[in-house]
Amino acid sequence: MKKSSIHSLQDARNLAKKKLPSMIFDYVDGVALEGDGDYSNSEYFRTLKLSQNVLAGGGPKKISKRILGQSYDLPFGIAPMGMCNLVSSKADVAIGKLAKKFNVPVCFSTMASTSLEKTLRVTGDLGWFQLYVYDDLESGLKLAKRAQTAGYKTLILTVDVPELGRRPKELKHNFSAKFRPSYKQILDCAMHPKWSLDLLINGIPRPQNFDKDLKIDRNKPRGAADWEFLKKLREIWKGKLVIKGILNPKDALKLERLGADAIYVSGHGSRQFDSCPVPIHQLAKIRRSLKKSTVLIYDTGIRNGEDILKALCSGADFVMIGKQALFSIAAEGFEGLVQMTNNLKKEIEIAMAQMGTFDINLLDTSNLESTFKLK
């Protein structure tokens, strides 16, 4: 077996930086404005501590989870990400294969460069679909119906991109979904021959989930959807409906009342709103404002297995991983994604041993020690 080259998020990020042209690396790595949101969230994660309990005895740890009517072997899956195939032509398929290998959910984006029908063929019922709604609400409903017809059972509506965030790292490359590299960028691609060859053989990835007659413009506002639209979506979507990008307990409560099956607390990987409230802090507040039975999913800033446990202790029922997955694919393809998943799994089990806890489903704030007072 090949020796593992990824032992941490930093390993994956460093390898990805070497293997990708800077425009693509910066697309994945970019955050909004000054990166204050990213900084505050990481700092808050650092202040959260997991309580230690010794002499609890050995034995296997239960780390499986049941949410939204389905059982998963791990407490985490892969968050929706657009244009993953810019990292490798096989990225969407690798994510789909990961779902099958580990029995975990993975979510495909409206902006994916593999069609939603094709990704579902790889994942079976482990695939979720993420919906962006642009200015044309009817097209949004149409895409949801297409996902339903294809056989998706879980739909995630992302609501935290009313306008695309300004990410200086993307802007400096004039990055766009149309991917028309400048002369300087062509030179950069030439310095990464393996990546360029993949692109030459497999073609430039293009969004595959839009109507042929719809003009694709990634910079178009996605803020037309409102509470009325959500009611309509709730009526037509027969499966589980998850609302992603929630940071405000009041919004969460309103969504709970409206019949959302899960609320997805997320700061969009700090890519959208630099001054947003700290996502991992909001998670605990949102948990306290909702019914115990309401499912909470969390992402943003997860670095390792201990961070996953911190999110679960703060009230999440499930956690999703974003850019770390793309760095791992850039680093080592599907094998990199497998390494990342095994690392996270092992880190969870080791930390649970330190915590003297055997069932991940029993974690709550009593397992958490914080140097900050939670308001």
Binding site for ligand FMN (CB under 6 A): 27-28, 79-82, 109, 111, 130, 158, 244, 266, 268-269, 299-302, 321-324, 326
Nearest approach, Cβ of residue 78 and ligand FMN (Å): 9
Nearest approach, Cβ of residue 72 and ligand FMN (Å): 18
Q: Looking at the DSSP assignment, which residues form a beta bridge with residue 242? A: 156, 262
The answer to whether residues 59 and 357 touch, using CB atoms and an 8 Å cutoff, is no
Nearest approach, Cβ of residue 57 and ligand FMN (Å): 34
> Which of residues 240 and 323 has its CB atom nearest to ligand FMN in the complex?
323
- Distance separating alpha carbons of residues 153 and 29, to the nearest angstrom: 30
Residue number, nearest CB to ligand FMN: 322
Nearest approach, Cβ of residue 358 and ligand FMN (Å): 27
The answer to whether residues 108 and 119 touch, using CB atoms and an 8 Å cutoff, is yes
> Which of residues 223 and 356 has its CB atom nearest to ligand FMN in the complex?
223
> Which of residues 266 and 357 has its CB atom nearest to ligand FMN in the complex?
266
User: From start to end of the chain, where are the E strands?
Assistant: 48-50, 65-67, 70-72, 76-78, 106-108, 127-131, 154-158, 240-246, 262-266, 295-299, 318-321, 368-370
> Which of residues 130 and 154 has its CB atom nearest to ligand FMN in the complex?
130
Sign of CA dihedral 308, 313, 316, 318: positive
- Distance separating alpha carbons of residues 209 and 134, to the nearest angstrom: 13
SS3 state of residue 222: coil
State both tokens at 369: 């020690």
> Which of residues 61 and 233 has its CB atom nearest to ligand FMN in the complex?
233
The number of angstroms, rounded, from the C-alpha of 133 to the middle of its chain's C-alpha atoms is 18
> Which of residues 62 and 178 has its CB atom nearest to ligand FMN in the complex?
178
- Distance separating alpha carbons of residues 147 and 127, to the nearest angstrom: 11
Nearest approach, Cβ of residue 39 and ligand FMN (Å): 13
- Distance separating alpha carbons of residues 142 and 363, to the nearest angstrom: 40
Q: Residue 336 to residues 26, 58, 153, 340: CA-CA distances in angstroms?
A: 19, 30, 28, 6
> Which of residues 15 and 326 has its CB atom nearest to ligand FMN in the complex?
326
Nearest approach, Cβ of residue 56 and ligand FMN (Å): 30
State both tokens at 217: 């413009």
Nearest approach, Cβ of residue 334 and ligand FMN (Å): 18
